[in-house]
Chain A
Amino acid sequence: MKNERALISRTSMEVATALVTGGVGAAVIWGAAEHDIGWGDSGPGSGYFPFRIGILIILASLTNLVLALRRRGFANEVFVTNAQMRSVLAFGLPILGFVVLSLLLGLYVAAILYLSFVMIFQGGYRPLFAIGLAFAVAVAMRLIFPIWFKVPLLTGPIEALLGLY
């Protein structure tokens, strides 16, 4: 089947991950180097521990890199197929949208928009049902968090406009 075609092979993902973790290691070293990485007046400086952690991250990442390239079993293994990637993105991209909306409009409005969108366009539910359910969730959020547990949630300009805090 065409859909089952491998999009990314296991080897390339192993290599990419090892490079990224190695990069994090380098960043840690770089960040630690802004501080005292040696012996300060009061013992080890604040860069001492992270600097060494950074070096170890790079060493372990290199090991992973070498092992990934040498392991023949990985060559035929698939990290993700086209079809899998599509369903991950179909689920993941709306989450990204939800985060952006939350930061702009607050969690309530974002949750209503996100839930309605996903249920109507991906779940195939009737708009009335989906929007109704989404509003019910927002009401539940309001009851549970700010009212019962006294933990306020992120609100946005729309709540301010409506006078709901």
Chain B
Amino acid sequence: MANLDSLFHGFAVALTLQHVALMMIGVLLGILVGVLPGLGAPNGVTLLLPLTYTMDPVGAIILLTSMYWGALFGGSTTSILFNIPGEPSSVATTFDGHPMAKQGRAIQALSFAFLSAGFGAMVGVIVTTLLSGWVTSFALQFSSPEFFAVYFLAFASFVGLSGAQASKTIVSILLGFAFATVGMDTISGSLRLTFGFDELLRGISFLIVVIGLFGIGELLLTMEEGLKFEGVKAKVSLAGVMETLVRMPRYWVALVRGSLIGVWMGITPGGPTAASFMSYGLAKRFSRRREHFGTGEPEGVIAPETADHGAGTAAMLPMLALGIPGSATAAVMMGGLMIWGLNPGPMLFIERPDFVWGLIASMYIGNVVAVVLVLATVPLFASILRIPFAIIGPLIVVVCFIGAWTVGASKPDLWIALIFGVIGYVFKKLDYPIAPLVLALVLGDKAEDAFRQSMLMSQGSLNIFFSNPLVGTITTLAVILLTWPLWMSLIRRAHLLRITQPKVVE
């Protein structure tokens, strides 16, 4: 198999001393941002990105992806020990993880979480390895209309699959596109939507937006909730971990189901958060121990964790092969790729196989490194959370604005970060999803280019999106997903009418 061959080459790239060291640094930094409230994976990767501008791309992507894995693990630590999800995607882990910890089974809860997360991640990487060749050769046939259709599909699946009110998801996506058009138009060179402000000439950087939305906005929310850390102390012993490891196979159904959900939600941009909730919900529905869920059931930890990490790793596949990130963090990394001068998409596999396969191989090693490191450092990072928030909170603020400055050394960026902090706070409270906004901002220029190229090819007719079976199928699928909430509400209404027929329906 060609993929396996390439993978071994990748291992040769990834397994150098320097790259393994970067992996460990990345994982540790990732656990740190995952543990700290207000700093999550997307934001952490954003803050680190400007420091990689001058690194070689392979090392840089290994550092950033390792940080992503570390952040996913760190988020679960706080969920279990403190009942505070360090990441949105580990909210579902609190349901059973924290009760387990309170019953004195913290070490089991943590081991279950990390081992199942590692399992989910492995499935995600294996799927990425197996499918990438196929997806790439498929995507090599794409021209502009197909690319636009795939972008459209990605955004439509946000509307169709996320639980949020469809019109709010749509506003979020469209605002992202609108912000992406600010500044220099790549085709005509004219300046758009700057409204006479010279500060906006360079456009609105998605990195600044992420720092605002995910960093400042999250901190404001945390403050409002009046955060209190009341943690459970955990001692990690090798025996405790081993004991849990032996019990893992008993939960194989939850593991397999969680991985499948995770991989699916990672490839279609549903994201890790949706995946973990969906996996928890399904595990609860089909479990024989349903009534124990929420009181410290191991399956309630395993299910969301497997899906969370499965989605996190699988999100790299569409990013690499299609240039469509499957999660907000993957979106930031894709932006990084473009900054390093790489062009995400099928050509990347041909032009830079060392990069792609080095990355994929590093995902295998990185996740193993992450499981070991996260288990070894639980006490260390738990003690960080015992530092009062009056110190940690302002420090995170300073770090966020330093990050905002390092992105482009531009003064207006500090204001933009602050404004997006307020937007993030309001949007989160009103259930406007913010990941689609970031994705739209990253993909905005590419989507617009693809759209304009397509319009040029067809002389302005939208029929081009149905002009061949390939693009037609993708577009149709996208339209179905886009209108999915509409169908569901129609079906529900019809159903209700049938039930309440004897009565007068208002």
Residues on A close to B: CB < 8 A? Answer: 10, 13-14, 17, 21, 24-25, 27-28, 31-32, 35, 39-40, 42-50, 53-54, 56-57, 60-61, 63-64, 67, 79-80, 84, 87-88, 90-92, 94-96, 98-99, 102-103, 107, 111, 114-115, 118-119, 122-125, 133, 137, 141, 145, 149-154
* Contact residues in B for A48 (Cβ distance below 8 Å): 452, 455
**A44 near B452: Cβ-Cβ < 8 Å:** yes
* Contact residues in B for A123 (Cβ distance below 8 Å): 388, 390-391
**A57 near B187: Cβ-Cβ < 8 Å:** no
* Contact residues in B for A141 (Cβ distance below 8 Å): 398, 402
* Contact residues in B for A96 (Cβ distance below 8 Å): 418
B contact residues, total (Cβ < 8 Å): 59
**B405 near A153: Cβ-Cβ < 8 Å:** yes
Given A87-B224, A88-B220, check contact A67 B165 (CB 8 Å): yes
Q: Which residue of A lies closest to B225 (CB)?
A: A84
**B174 near A60: Cβ-Cβ < 8 Å:** yes
**B452 near A67: Cβ-Cβ < 8 Å:** no
Partner of B405 from the list A67, A122, A154 (CB cut-off 8 Å) is A154
* Contact residues in B for A50 (Cβ distance below 8 Å): 178, 181, 192-193
**A88 near B452: Cβ-Cβ < 8 Å:** no
Partner of B415 from the list A40, A99, A150 (CB cut-off 8 Å) is A99
CA distance A26 to B414 in the complex (A): 25
Partner of A91 from the list B193, B220, B422, B430 (CB cut-off 8 Å) is B220
Q: Which residue of B lies closest to A83 (CB)?
A: B226
CA distance A54 to B175 in the complex (A): 9
**A119 near B174: Cβ-Cβ < 8 Å:** no
B409 is an interface residue with CB less than 8 A from chain A: yes
**A63 near B167: Cβ-Cβ < 8 Å:** yes
How many whole Å from A21's CB to the nearest CB in chain B?
Answer: 5
CA distance A60 to B165 in the complex (A): 11
B406 is an interface residue with CB less than 8 A from chain A: yes
Given A17-B426, A118-B390, check contact A67 B167 (CB 8 Å): yes
Q: Which residue of A lies closest to B412 (CB)?
A: A103
* Contact residues in A for B411 (Cβ distance below 8 Å): 103, 154
CA distance A103 to B463 in the complex (A): 51
* Contact residues in A for B427 (Cβ distance below 8 Å): 17
How many whole Å from B171's CB to the nearest CB in chain A?
Answer: 5
Partner of A64 from the list B168, B219, B226, B405 (CB cut-off 8 Å) is B168
**B190 near A46: Cβ-Cβ < 8 Å:** yes
How many whole Å from B487's CB to the nearest CB in chain A?
Answer: 17
CA distance A60 to B176 in the complex (A): 14
**A28 near B193: Cβ-Cβ < 8 Å:** yes
B339 is an interface residue with CB less than 8 A from chain A: no
CA distance A53 to B173 in the complex (A): 10
Partner of B456 from the list A13, A43, A122, A154 (CB cut-off 8 Å) is A43
How many whole Å from A76's CB to the nearest CB in chain B?
Answer: 16
* Contact residues in A for B414 (Cβ distance below 8 Å): 99, 102-103
Q: Could you tell me which residues of chain B, from 54 to 80, have a CB within 8 Å of some CB in chain A?
A: 54
* Contact residues in A for B388 (Cβ distance below 8 Å): 123
